Amino acid sequence: MSFGESLQALRKESKVTQEQLASYLGVSAQAVSKWENGSYPEGDLIPRIADYFKVSIDFLYGREGRRDSIEQQVVKELSALWHDESTRAEQEKKYMEKVHRILWALQIGSWRNVVDYYDRPVHDYDSARMSSAISMDEGYSFMRLDRDKDCYVYLHRPEQDKGFETWFRDTTDVRMFFSMLADPDNLKVLTFMYTLASGELASFTTIQKMTGVPKEKVTAFLDYMTGKLNLSGESAIIEVQLIGPDGNNQKAYGVNTTMGGLFVGIFALADSFVHAPQGYSMQTNCKEHSWVDRKKLSEFK
């Protein structure tokens, strides 16, 4: 495929007119028409055309296939980690380290003057608490950089006129959830549950004995975790029925590894509030509007 054929195919595929492409490049529509019919643009325009259509210069000249999108490149990069000769534990470590670097790239990419990737800073255990934050009207992200206490959160502004107040609209169930976590005995039961390995179960009797929490409180907390929080079939704590030696059913409990990590995330974020950052290695703040529309306060529960 010739340069002109490639350019015309890309333009039509992207539903871009000759006039629109010409306006972007600062040339006339007639010039674009000539390129598509056999002539060539000036050399300094070719990289701009490639960037406009997100392809390589070689692709424009028909010498290679289309360049993968950044999303596809990320998928390929991560997927390749699972096919080397490392052990599963080593593969998992490489995967999480790569993801961490990608998240850091998202943070520093919010600065217009940053065009090259550089590794996130590594702080000593006794260093000041450092984080990175992006606060925009369209979204928010926070990356805690403390050694062994790092976490990442990303919020995309809900579409239309909902805004971030969506999360404040009905907090009845959320307040109940936090009231349960505020009880030290409930936290003791939850902490014990997280000592169980994947697939490992503990009976009610074992949980009560290991934690020393009164039976009625253990019952109330487990009923809440497996009932109120399990309406959709998913909860951080799972409940199974076992047949006891007397032929009667007995309950046993374990941790749902899919949902269970959310509790770790909740405590990580809460700790970031209680022990706020003492500085920011990267900070973007271009938010102009409030988080919540004051006119909608009457809608909140």
Query: Encoding tokens for residue 217?
Result: 């409180």
Are 159 and 150 in contact by the 8 Å Cβ rule? The answer is no
Which of 50, 48, 4, 59 minimizes the C-alpha distance to 26? 48
| Structural domains of the chain ordered from first start | 3-67 (1.10.260.40), 172-262 (1.10.10.10)
Check residue 257 and give its pLDDT. 87
Please tell me the distance from the alpha carbon of residue 7 to that of residue 59, in angstroms, as a whole number.
10
pLDDT tens-digit map of 258-290:
888 889 999 999 999 999 999 999 999 999 988
pLDDT band of residue 20 (cuts 50, 70, 90) is very high
Check residue 292 and give its pLDDT. 86
Check residue 160 and give its pLDDT. 65
Check residue 66 and give its pLDDT. 63
Check residue 275 and give its pLDDT. 92
Q: How many CB atoms lie within 10 A of CB 265?
A: 12
Strand segments (E) across 174-299? 202-203, 237-243, 249-255, 279-285
Check residue 151 and give its pLDDT. 92
Question: Is 60 exceeded by the pLDDT of residue 181?
Answer: yes
- What is the residue-averaged pLDDT of the chain? 89
Q: For residue 21, what is the enclosing H or E element?
A: helix 18-25
pLDDT tens-digit map of 21-67:
999 999 999 999 999 998 888 888 999 998 888 888 888 887 776 66
Please tell me the distance from the alpha carbon of residue 117 to that of residue 297, in angstroms, as a whole number.
42
pLDDT tens-digit map of 96-143:
999 999 999 999 999 988 888 999 888 888 889 999 999 999 999 999
Query: Encoding tokens for residue 90?
Result: 């080593």
Please tell me the distance from the alpha carbon of residue 20 to that of residue 4, in angstroms, as a whole number.
17
What residue type is assigned to position 147 of the chain? R
Q: 15-24, 68-77, 145-154: which has the minimum mean pLDDT? A: 68-77
Average pLDDT over residues 242-250: 77
Average pLDDT over residues 235-256: 84
Beta bridge partners of 133: 142, 283
